[in-house]
Amino acid sequence: MAQLPVVEHPDGRLREAAETVTEFDANLASFIDDMIETMRAQQVIGLSAQQVGDRRNVCVIDPEGDGSSVEVFVNPVILASWRTAIVEESCLSIPDLEGNVFRATRLRARAQDAAGNTFTRDLNDMAAVTLQHEVDHLAGKLFIDRLNPIRRLAIGLRTRAKRKQAGSERQEPA
């Protein structure tokens, strides 16, 4: 197992949609192990493949945050969701930023495990919120896209300042 380097906003790789996993082999199993190790080492409760620079449609969650609730979702799809709430979120790929977003606190998801077996799973509260955050990542979306427009504008200005500081003129895909 190995820890993987984390990709940070505004890196364009965070804006690419994931590709469906079709090969359920040893390489995938080892990648998932590395994702879990990285999530644990970074002390976060969820991680998507995009955040470690990989295009595979895979995320891992650990809503308890202590390694006791680790679940793997390959090619996840949210089938239904209920009970919207305002939740304060942050993201490993967007350091030092928090914001309130609307999320369902109950959902039904379908996905595959590391061996390719399809399963359906009902998730509540933090597990449901975390999976939505990760499924967003897999579609190239970030939680800042869900903030209100004034908050987004402030973050946009901050991001441009950061980019200028880094001397980069690279444009971020919308």
Contact set with Ni ion (CB under 5 A)? 91
Distance separating alpha carbons of residues 119 and 16, to the nearest angstrom: 26
3-state helix, strand, coil split of the chain in percent (to 5) is 35, 30, 35
Judged by CB, which is closer to Ni ion: 91, or 128? 91
120 alpha carbon, distance to own chain's centre: 19
Name the 3-class secondary structure at 41.
helix
Name the 3-class secondary structure at 151.
helix
Could you say which of 16, 64, 88, 134 is catalytic?
134
Contact criterion met (CB below 8 Å) for 43 and 74: no
Helix (H) or strand (E) holding 48: strand 46-48
Task: Tell me if residue 71 is catalytic.
Answer: no
- In the complex, least distance from residue 117 CB atom to Ni ion, rounded to whole angstroms: 26
Distance separating alpha carbons of residues 35 and 42, to the nearest angstrom: 10
Q: Which two structure tokens, joined as six digits, stand for 146? A: 């869900």
- In the complex, least distance from residue 93 CB atom to Ni ion, rounded to whole angstroms: 5
Residue nearest to Ni ion as judged by C-beta position: 91
Judged by CB, which is closer to Ni ion: 51, or 75? 51
Catalytic (active-site) positions: 134
